[in-house]
């Protein structure tokens, strides 16, 4: 083998090795962001996650909003090509929620579908799942969220991602 051939072979092996490493790392990040721990084991933020957000089922809220589930393309109304290619497609509305840090905010999730279960996963900036809760059909489910850090957090329905997702923007406290 010539020196040039050896260098070329070495370069190709390095490139393939780097590509494989990137794929493995991407798979780990995807797995961490797309599958909550315990395979549909529902939970509220643990003590570590509570440094970012605390969530309770009840409490005094200073602000309140409702997030509804909306069908975009479903088996009952089609279009069939979309359902065939992507399955049923849903969305949260609104997809953007703006809150103030340290202001308890009641968020009511209203699943309007009679036969489709949804869920809500709140993700930290590192894509770890802070909370994961069930949103049963034809049910309103409420939680009081208090965010403790400014910034942007993603949320999604793990069953219907990526379309059924959104973001929560946490702003500094409102001035009196």
pLDDT tens readout for residues 45-87: 999 999 999 999 999 999 999 999 999 888 888 788 888 888 8
pLDDT single digits (tens) 16-40? 344 333 333 333 333 333 444 445 5
Alpha-carbon span 90 to 116, nearest angstrom: 10
Question: Where along the chain do its domains lie?
Answer: 1-34, 49-171
CA dihedral for 154, 166, 110, 103, sign (positive or negative): positive
Summarised one tens digit per residue, pLDDT across range 109-129 is 999 999 899 999 999 999 999
Token duo for residue 55: 């969530």
What tens digit of pLDDT does each residue of 79-109 get?
A: 888 888 888 899 999 999 999 999 999 999 9
Q: What is the per-residue pLDDT for 164? A: 96
Q: 49-171 belongs to which homologous superfamily?
A: Cupredoxins -  blue copper proteins (2.60.40.420)
């Amino acid at each position: 083998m010539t020196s040039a051939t050896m260098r070329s072979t070495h370069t190709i092996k390095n490139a393939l090795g780097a590509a494989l490493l990137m794929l493995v790392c991407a798979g780990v990040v995807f797995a961490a962001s797309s599958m909550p721990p315990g395979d549909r084991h529902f939970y509220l933020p643990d003590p570590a996650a509570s440094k970012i957000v605390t969530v309770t089922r009840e409490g005094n809220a200073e602000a309140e909003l409702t997030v509804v589930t909306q069908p975009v393309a479903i088996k009952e109304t089609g279009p069939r090509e979309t359902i065939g290619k992507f399955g049923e497609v849903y969305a949260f509305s609104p997809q953007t929620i703006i809150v103030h840090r340290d202001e308890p905010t009641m968020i009511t999730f209203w699943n309007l579908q009679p036969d489709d279960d949804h869920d809500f996963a709140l993700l930290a900036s590192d894509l770890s799942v802070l909370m994961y809760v069930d949103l049963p059909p034809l049910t309103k489910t409420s939680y009081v969220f208090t965010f403790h850090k400014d910034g942007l957090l993603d949320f999604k329905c793990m069953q219907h991602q990526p379309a059924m997702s959104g973001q929560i923007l946490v702003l500094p406290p409102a001035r009196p």
